[in-house]
Structure 1
Amino acid sequence: MSVQFVAYIDEAGDEGFGKLKAEASSAQSKWLVLGGILVRSNIDKNLPEWRDDIMSKFPNKKNRDIHFRHLNHAQKVVASEYLSNKQFGICCVCSNKITLLDSSQSVKIFKQKGYLYNYLTRYLLERLTWAVRDFANRTTQSTELRIVFSRRSGTDYQSMREYLILMRDGRERIRPIRSIDWTVFSPDNIKVENHSRWAGLQLADVVTSATAAGLEPNIFGNYEPRYATAFAKRFISRQRSILDCGLTLIPQIGKSPLDAQQRDFINGLCEKWQAPGP
């Protein structure tokens, strides 16, 4: 019998480019982060309890589902710290959209609706399937991955599924250097659900938005690394590193124009992950 894994996927930021360089609060996000949580099926049943535990700490909240952006700072800290010792993995792919403006060709491509989202989806699925396959290799058990996306308006999930099938069947014009591991995942194992009805999607919102907060400046130009640093040990890894696995930057850290605070955030995540302890 195969071991079942489930990944719940959400995003933080947007795909817009029109006001990307603006400093006003109405400007579009400088980063798009696509990420989520990876759990074994026997842990999946615990997610509603985790969500309810978090919400029970906020007795004055009328809604019983978690939207990270609607929490205040103290509540975001509590939610992040609560998840720090839970049994799940985190994988986030973070696109520095500013760098896409350097090429008119890139702007032309990624201004098309859904292109950047689907591009990051590919990176994310590569890394999630690597993690599941590595588990299979370590345990000599067969494995299978299911994906649950948080529904977003305007996203054509059927086209995404068809493109994944094209990739799986090797019909791309240019073969990628890396690929999704099709031995553990099928495009048929994708679901799209509403955020409000699935605890896993709400927890995916927490980890994805928390990670984005360490990279995306607020209206005052400041960052908040504390949220994601709280659950740094939950990021999945490869060859004893979370970079280019649980935490993937596009472009890579050496090519991305990061400021000192953003670099400190990334280095802090890596150091916290490597530190001894639970």
Structure 2
Amino acid sequence: MDLQLAGLRCLITGSSSGIGEGIAHTLAAEGASVIVHGRDQQRTAAVAAAIGGRGQPVLAVTGDLVDPDGCAEVARRCNEMLGGVDVLINNAGGKTSSHKQDGVARPANAAWLETPWDEWRWTYDQNVGAAVRLIQAFAPGMVERGFGRIINVASASATQPPPDLADYAPAKAAMVNMTVGLAKTLGGSGVTVNAITPGTILTPAVQSTFTGWARQLGWDDTSWDEIERRFTSEVLPQPIRQFGRPDDIGRMAALLASPLSSYMTGSNYRVDGGFCQSIN
């Protein structure tokens, strides 16, 4: 099926690695004009160069989206390079990584009652704030042209929060909530707004984290394939006995970015191997 992405101008934030890089590869392969974004200029340029050569431009832009001036500069550069953005994918995010191991056999997070407000504020700004700034920068142009796609990358923790992920889960829940509200605000404009909820997606960072966790659990001589199978069947059980791959998120993003998805808005689409237990 032709998703009719050829020539669409797409900005994927946080796409110099991980899930964002997978999305950028997929959209470029479908013929879209892609802007790869990151904070490290050399790495971002290298990813854009690796994706390039498929008929449409693959460009690079760097900037800190938490900083209002940095965000404005990213928007200005995107408009300068491509004359606007048709598809905005808010993938950049994350949480503070300053927490120390606490001796518990799981990836460490600060205890809920011990997570300082500064970390709440930083994580909210890193996820929600960055997305809002770019939406406000690009959505008016989409409305004026009568077409646009805004895709917010959330997390399974938004709707199924674990313990002691105090700052991150509410920030991702806010992204799902604002997706629905914005979709209603932009109703009838030709601009759709949706969220994607990834499950655990296998990136180098994720593999390193789960390999370390497996050692804490005493799985010292276990191959990666066995680690993946055991986590998805014993520790974090889900119907599909493996973690997702960045391409899995890329394919969902390509569908939601497509003109063919014009009847899909205000929704949260899970790509999580069946991990989330609730219906919606």
Q: TM-score normalized by structure 1? A: 0.30
| Higher RCO (C-alpha under 8 Å, 6+ residues apart) | 1
More strand by share: 1
